[in-house]
Amino acid sequence: MLKRSILLCALASALVCVDAARADDLIAIVQQALDHDAELGEARAGYEAAKQAVPIARAALLPQVAGGWGRSYNRIEMDGFPNQKYWQNGWMVSVTQPLFDWSKWTAYRQADFVVAQGAVDFAGAQQASILRAVRAYFDELAAEDEVKRAADYLAAIDTQFEQVRRKRGAGEATLIDLREADTAREQAQLQQVDAQQELAVKRRAVEQVTGRPFAALAALPPEMALPALPEGEEAWVEQAKTRGYGVQSKELG
């Protein structure tokens, strides 16, 4: 829960500090995730259904009015008497008001808790969706940084290898030095391949949470500093134990 709180702080800061010219970055990823998340859609539908608990429970306590209308055709035939044919109409209206029904009254009193639990569950699903989007966003940016680092490292190793190769040609380096430099270059190439593959995985994760492909992600402004924990780790943990959405939902249940 502590890590989630840190991510939410980062998200809140980004939403405040990112200007309109960079609208297609963290804000866009989060909004796309909220629109695409099937679990969030399910929670939203559940909340809309839960909001009907109060009207349904209240309706059971109100007067019940029932009415009906009918029409029938009758024909009577008797020997020695003329036949009779006629239409018969009928109306019926009834009004009932329960004086006291404990089960219905209890259901009405509990309806508010049903609505509250639906709201808490929806808020928890929304938070989870935001966290998935934020995590995917920063993981992808971190993978991009790793690819750049691996490329810079490989360039430095290539430069070192060329120096060793020239020294070997001039007799200033041994064959072992050349082979060690070549091995280091191969390892750097493998690191670059691994970083590129990891970047592809992280980009697919972003596409999964948003439901759409993207060309590139815009990083956060370099001057923006993420907020630190103002009250310490223990305070955040205690808040999670008492105010977490999962805890509130269980209490309401």
Higher pLDDT, 227 or 119: 119
**pLDDT for 170-218, tens place per residue?**
887 788 888 888 899 999 999 999 999 999 999 999 988 888 887 778 8
Task: Indicate the pLDDT class of residue 20, thresholds 50, 70 and 90.
Answer: very low
- Tell me the domains of the chain and their CATH numbers: 2-62+101-252 (1.20.1600.10)
Residues 7 and 135 sit within 8 Å (Cβ to Cβ): yes
pTM: 0.67
For residues 17-31, give the mean pLDDT: 62
Task: Indicate the pLDDT class of residue 19, thresholds 50, 70 and 90.
Answer: very low
Which residues have a Cβ under 8 Å from the Cβ of 212 and sit 6 or more positions away? 32, 36
Q: DSSP string covering 47-74, please?
A: HHHHTTHHHHHHHTTSPEEEEEEEEEEE
